Amino acid sequence: MSYETSDVKSVQKFLGEVKELADKINGTLPEDAEVKFDFDDFSEKFYKANDGIIKNRDTLKKEKIKLAEEYESYKSQIEEKWGSIDENLPDQYNKVVEELGSIKAAMKDDKVDLDVIKQQHQSEIERLQKQWEKQLADKTKELVEQNESLNKKAETFQNLHFNNLKREGLQKELERLNVNPEDRSLIMQANLGRAEISQTENGEYDVFFKDDNGQSLPKSDFWNAWASDEHNAKYILAEQNTGGGASGTTKAKGSSKLEQLQKKFNEATDLKTKIQISEEMARIK
């Protein structure tokens, strides 16, 4: 048997109050009174009674501990054989019983009346419907935002790719025409604005250039026509010919054939004729 600190303090306080009460009672009685409040006798009986209470309490505590240990042992044996015990099983069972009762109430001619079931769960159906609608709206918004973000990134990368295609296409054309490297930067700045990207017949992207009339031309056609214009001849370097003489000679761009074609090109009024002439001039060069 054990006493806790709270037990001792409580008993001391109680007996102190009883002692004060006994003194007051005895103080009001005559000295020769036959019956008086015997505090010593009361306290002795109280101690004996209290010992019994403490003993019973200790016994109950031991029994509680024993029962808890037995429960854990029993629970372990059950879980080892059948798996873990769901603490919410009673509540789940009660819900199943309630649901079965609802279904039974909805039975009509050995069939379940779905309308009755719907009425029984109308509030839950409405709650779930609102919940699903909100989830759908949130998910839709999230997907729309993601799609817009991806489209912006794709557009940015496409613009960068197209700009590179334009610049590279123009650089190759200037190299093909043997344009003076010192003039290429200025010519590129003046003509990059004409460049645009279009899909060819095989589905690939290529560079096209708009002429002064706004017509989109393949890059080779546009730059052949540009090179054939007498105003641009100053930007094109003469090709070197190392044959026919000790020191070699420079191939004259002003040969009679080229001069005739150049004259036809300058006199031509339609784009198709100009392109045809420029292609013929390019073959001679």
Same-domain check for residues 69 and 161:
no
Asked whether residue 78 is domain-assigned, the answer is: yes
pLDDT digits (tens, 9 = 90+) for 104-126: 666 665 666 667 667 767 777 78
pLDDT digits (tens, 9 = 90+) for 32-58: 777 777 878 877 877 777 776 666 667
For the segment 6-14, the average pLDDT, to the nearest whole number, is: 70
What total number of domains does the chain contain?
A: 2
Last residue of a domain, one of 85, 104, 126: 85
Nearest CA-CA partner of 234 in 176, 180, 172: 180
User: For residue 210, what pLDDT is reported?
Assistant: 92
Same-domain check for residues 278 and 164:
yes
Domain region containing 52: 5-28+36-85
Q: Nearest 5°: CA angle at 129, between 127 and 135?
A: 105
Name the most confidently modeled range: 54-58, 88-92, 188-192: 188-192
The CA distance from 211 to 271, in Å, is 9
Task: Give 68 or 241, the one with higher predicted confidence.
Answer: 68
Asked whether residue 241 is domain-assigned, the answer is: yes
What percent of the chain lies above the pLDDT cut of 90? 15
Same-domain check for residues 271 and 157:
yes
User: For residue 246, what pLDDT is reported?
Assistant: 37
Same-domain check for residues 185 and 70:
no
User: For residue 196, what pLDDT is reported?
Assistant: 93
For tokens 């103080």, what's the residue?
Answer: 27
Asked whether residue 110 is domain-assigned, the answer is: no
Asked whether residue 196 is domain-assigned, the answer is: yes
Asked whether residue 21 is domain-assigned, the answer is: yes
Residue 86 has pLDDT above 70, yes or no: no
Same-domain check for residues 81 and 160:
no
Same-domain check for residues 71 and 190:
no
Same-domain check for residues 54 and 168:
no
Asked whether residue 212 is domain-assigned, the answer is: yes
User: For residue 84, what pLDDT is reported?
Assistant: 65
Residue 5 has pLDDT above 60, yes or no: no
For the segment 208-237, the average pLDDT, to the nearest whole number, is: 90
Asked whether residue 172 is domain-assigned, the answer is: yes
Same-domain check for residues 77 and 166:
no
In terms of DSSP H, where are the helices of 35-121? Answer: 39-82, 89-105, 114-120
209, 243 Cβ separation under 8 angstroms: no
Same-domain check for residues 81 and 177:
no
Residue 259 has pLDDT above 80, yes or no: no
Asked whether residue 238 is domain-assigned, the answer is: yes
Read off the tokens for 285.
């060069």
Same-domain check for residues 53 and 159:
no
Same-domain check for residues 179 and 280:
yes
The mean pLDDT value of the chain amounts to: 76
Same-domain check for residues 64 and 178:
no
* Confidence bin at 207 (pLDDT 50/70/90): very high
For the segment 232-251, the average pLDDT, to the nearest whole number, is: 57
